[in-house]
Amino acid sequence: MAGNWAPVKRTRTFEEVLARIEQRIVEDGLRVGDRLPGERQLAEQLQVGRSSVREALRVLETLGVVSSSAGRGPDAGAVLTSRPGTALTDLLRLHLGLAGLELSEIIETRLMIERFAASRAAALRADTSALDLALAAMDAARDAAEFVEHDIAFHCAIADASGNRLIGVIMRSIRDSVRPHAVAAVERLGVGSARLRAEHQLIRDAIASGDAAAAATAVSEHLAHTYDLEL
């Protein structure tokens, strides 16, 4: 494939990876049916974690831009099913536009979305393995920034477990926009906070047990505590 994939130097966010992929699609003149480099190759060339590449490809698949492939060698990498068009641009604009909103507005929106996602995930008796991995990683976090990285994974996993892919896309944009506030909140509450651990566990257990109402309540109480909100 023509062109070089310049590394992402300043950030590991999936939005930056999305923008770089869109750039390469346009500059290399890729057409429908062409294949992107595999996940491992993209991560190496962009110098980001594979999880960031995986998130970006998941968003592109949701938007109908690529179709994932589990092949190896020449068969590895997602296949381009349409040109990015305005859908990807609108998603990135949403992410940037969130920066101009009040934190309270973003958190209120997140609360509505995540209450629905948690209750739906519980109703579906969704797999909680991704939540378990995030919980374990939060327990091992050495500082607030690392804790928040895994906290984001936890809450995005709730969105994914709802079965609605668009909710997952929106949640990732919202979570990344409030990352600095989340880090500040964890620094205030303490990385090893027993209450934070218990709140996350309560959400996970409610989803695993299929208790939709308890899952929604647990999310509400967790966000209220973290961001000092009045419900």
Question: To the nearest whole number, what is the mean pLDDT of the chain?
Answer: 83
User: Residue 204's closest CA among 136, 106, 113?
Assistant: 136
Q: Confirm or reject CATH 1.20.120.530 for domain 101-227, answering yes or no.
A: yes
**Exposed / middle / buried, residue 3 (Cβ in 10 Å: 0-12, 13-18, 19+):** exposed
- What mean pLDDT is predicted for residues 151-179? 86
- What mean pLDDT is predicted for residues 77-95? 64
| Comparison of pLDDT for 22 and 113, the residue scoring more | 113
| Banded model confidence at residue 38, pLDDT cuts 50, 70, 90 | confident
Q: Which of 3-7, 94-98, 215-219 has the lowest mean pLDDT?
A: 94-98
| Comparison of pLDDT for 116 and 181, the residue scoring more | 116
- What mean pLDDT is predicted for residues 35-51? 86
% of the chain surpassing 70 pLDDT: 82
Contacts of 53 (CB under 8 A, 6+ apart): 14, 17, 39, 42, 43, 46
Position 89 scores a pLDDT of 54
What would the two tokens of residue 199 be?
A: 């709140």
% of the chain surpassing 90 pLDDT: 37
Cβ atoms 223, 107 nearer than 8 A: yes
What is the pTM (predicted TM-score) of this model?
A: 0.65
H helix count then E strand count, the chain? 11, 2
Q: How many residues does the chain have?
A: 231
Q: Where are the domains of the chain?
A: 14-90, 101-227
Cβ atoms 94, 138 nearer than 8 A: no
- What mean pLDDT is predicted for residues 18-32? 78
CA 34 to mean position of chain CA atoms: 26
The domains spanning 14-90 and 101-227 adopt the same CATH topology: no
pLDDT at 12 over 50: no
CB atoms within 10 A of CB 159: 27
Contacts of 179 (CB under 8 A, 6+ apart): 148, 152
- What mean pLDDT is predicted for residues 210-220? 97
**Exposed / middle / buried, residue 205 (Cβ in 10 Å: 0-12, 13-18, 19+):** middle
- What mean pLDDT is predicted for residues 156-171? 88
Options 2.30.29.30, 1.10.10.10, 1.25.40.10, 3.30.465.10; which CATH number does 14-90 get?
1.10.10.10
pLDDT at 189 over 70: yes
CA distance 131 to 159: 11
